Amino acid sequence: MLKGKTVIFGVSGGIAAYKSVEIARNLVKKGATVKVIMTQAATKFITPLTFSTLTNQPVATGLFNKELSGEIHHISLSDEADIVLVAPATANIIAKVANGIADDLLSTTILATDVPVIFAPSMNSRMYLNEITQKNIKRLEAYGYRMVGPAMGELACGKGGIGRLSETDAIVEAVEFEIARGSDLKGYSVMVTAGGTREPIDPVRFIGNKSSGKTGYAIANELVRRGSKTTLISSPTCLPVPQKVNFVPINTASDMNRETIKRFDKNDAVIMTAAVADFHPLKTHKEKIKKDNIDELSIKLKPNPDIIRELGEAKGKKILIAFAAESENLLENAKRKLERKNLDLIVANDISKTGIGFGEDFNKVTIIEKDGKITEFPRMTKRAIARIIVDKLINLVEPK
């Protein structure tokens, strides 16, 4: 199950560090290459030699050592990784990552990686329940980091409570689960639309909207990561084109409509994140409109096709996911769009709130599914939301 996969295994300094030996052994047994990074504090509980003997790999203990794979540093480690596991994860490493602090090899590696990271917290109950630790954990979860545990039970201090490192099997299973998710869309083709369309008024001006494309690009990245053949149809944005996508640049709603319909048959699902203009100027001026002698200027608009609605009419077994940006009556309006457009799922977000939505890195969404299930999510990064949407998609597509 873990054959050919590289686990970067962070061990931070808690008494439960001795249990991480068993975890490393199980990961190796399952075929993984396990590269251990120990914090300085961890080396006080257990020796690097134990891990290097078990994993048959050098163990890294400092930001500037060259023990691991010759020229070792956080970037090369994060490049090699399929997954990062931190067990035990102390309150300290959780706090550091939650606040972007990178002052040792483990924290720099976590900050530099874009593969899934799992934390298995272990600490004294009072430390775990402390509001600051809780906030840090929530913050990490909002960024898409996974937590396993902690569990209830007897703690090193002799008292019972929450804070024990989860059982080895639960931690190894979580690693296997995340790795399996890395290819759960293999064999599928998914099309994503992103950005705000531009409807030309004249050669210089256009009618646009506030969409930055961040959600669509995050979803395209996640789809690629999960093994899907991914097409990204996008209006101009300031974002880098995700690697390994079939990128189709467009400008207008009409371009997007044409390019989406053209590829519809070859895809298993469409995720429509684009903010499509509902109207375009009836007439596009060939030359730049001059302001001289104009007191009042009207632009007549004509409706654009509703792309996802048209796809919904020819849906068959394909999965259709759309977004609903609403400034009022969020759920009612989103539900109406779900039905009217024959969708499987709609992601509703309230655009009247500041700090989330258009142009921001965060959003707060509610997902409504065809069977009526409604799930409200807390404020989280668009990247974390992308993962949730792709998880939902996997449950919706027919098995291959």
Q: Does the protein bind ligand CTP through residue 325 (CB under 6 A)?
A: yes
Closest approach, Cβ 254 to ligand CTP, in A, equals: 10
> Binding pattern to ligand CTP, positions 329-358, x when CB under 6 A?
--------x---------------------
Taking CB positions, which residue lies at the least distance from ligand CTP? Answer: 322
**Is the torsion defined by CA of 26, 30, 31, 33 positive or negative?**
negative
Q: Does 97 sit near ligand CTP (CB under 6 A)?
A: no
367 near ligand CTP, rule: CB under 6 A:
no
Q: Which residue's CB is nearer to ligand CTP, number 245 or number 272?
A: 272
**Counting Cβ atoms within 10 Å, is residue 217 exposed (0-12), middle (13-18) or buried (19+)?**
buried
107/120 Cα distance (integer angstroms): 15
Q: Please pick, from the candidates 86, 110, 269, 274, the single residue that binds ligand CTP as defined by CB under 6 A.
A: 274
- Is residue 225 involved in binding ligand CTP (CB under 6 A)? no
- Of positions 8, 110, 218, 272, contacts ligand CTP by CB under 6 A: 272
Query: Which is closer to ligand CTP, CB of 97 or CB of 308?
Result: 308
322 touches ligand CTP by CB under 6 A: yes
Is 16 a residue that touches ligand CTP (CB under 6 A)?
A: no
- Among 83, 117, 224, 308, the residue binding ligand CTP under the rule CB under 6 A is 308
The yes or no reply on residue 190 touching ligand CTP (CB under 6 A) is: no
Query: How many whole angstroms separate alpha carbon 387 and alpha carbon 125?
Result: 30
Candidates 168-176, 281-289, 319-327, 378-386; binding stretch for ligand CTP (CB under 6 A): 319-327
Closer CB to ligand CTP, residue 59 or residue 274? 274
Using rule CB under 6 A, residue 304 touches ligand CTP:
yes
Under the criterion CB under 6 A, does residue 11 sit at the interface with ligand CTP?
no
Q: Per rule CB under 6 A, is residue 324 in the interface with ligand CTP?
A: yes
* Residue span binding ligand CTP (CB under 6 A) among the ranges 32-40, 154-162, 213-221, 316-324: 316-324
The active-site residue out of 132, 152, 157, 241 is 157
Site for ligand CTP contains 307 (CB under 6 A): yes
Q: Is 253 in the site for ligand CTP (CB under 6 A)?
A: yes
Shortest Å, Cβ 323 to ligand CTP: 4
Q: Which two tokens stand for residue 11?
A: 């061990």
Stretch that binds ligand CTP, among 181-189, 213-221, 239-247, 272-280 (CB under 6 A): 272-280
Active site residue 157: yes
Question: Of the two residues 23 and 320, which places its CB atom closer to ligand CTP in the complex?
Answer: 320
Dihedral (CA of 282, 286, 288, 294) sign: negative
Residue ranges in contact with ligand CTP by CB under 6 A: 253, 272, 274, 276, 278, 304, 306-308, 322-325, 337
- Which residues are annotated as catalytic? 157
